[in-house]
Amino acid sequence: MYRAVTQGIQVTVKPQYLSDRSSAEDGRFFWAYTIEIVNLGTVTAQLRSRHWKITDAHGNTQEVRGPGVVGEQPVLKPGERFEYTSGVPLTTPTGIMGGSYQMVSEGGENFDVEIPVFSLDSPHGKRVLH
């Protein structure tokens, strides 16, 4: 589990390797990740867009930007939470991803919320201690 808090917004990520959707022989590796966003602050905020940086084991990075998450732009009042699950494919058995959500407060202030960098590990990857 990976967690970050920015301006009262907590983001928790739980990645999971999906062996049934992957094929090491074909160079296809797939992960699901569940994200929980909790408003720990005192101001209502809306998630407007997302920005991901996804890096495979060869150092190739792709960036993904778009409105909302899973087709939604949730509004979180203080104490409320939103959870969703999505997925990511790679052609390597390991990688990392992280990014940010672009939020707006009820007062119109735009701010970025960190999505913590998290590891995408499969049983086919070589374990390396850093």
Residue 78 lies in a domain: yes
Tell me the pLDDT tens digit for each residue of 19-62.
Answer: 999 999 999 999 999 999 999 999 999 999 999 999 999 999 99
Residue 127 lies in a domain: no
Lay out the sheet containing 29-39: strands in order across: 2-6, 9-17, 29-39, 81-90
pLDDT band at 130 (very low <50, low <70, confident <90, very high): very low
Residue 127 in this model has a pLDDT that exceeds 80: no
Return mean pLDDT, the chain: 94
pLDDT band at 128 (very low <50, low <70, confident <90, very high): low
SS (H, E, C) 52-87: EEEEECCCCEEEEEEECECCECCEECCCCEEEEEEE
Q: What's the pLDDT score for residue 123?
A: 81
Domain range for 103 is: 2-121
Q: What's the pLDDT score for residue 124?
A: 73
Helix H or strand E segment including 35: strand 29-39
Residue 129 lies in a domain: no
Residue 125 in this model has a pLDDT that exceeds 70: no
Residue 128 lies in a domain: no
CATH number at residue 20: 2.60.40.1470
Number of domains in the chain: 1
Residue 15 lies in a domain: yes
Tell me the pLDDT tens digit for each residue of 73-116.
Answer: 999 999 999 999 999 999 999 999 999 999 999 999 999 999 99
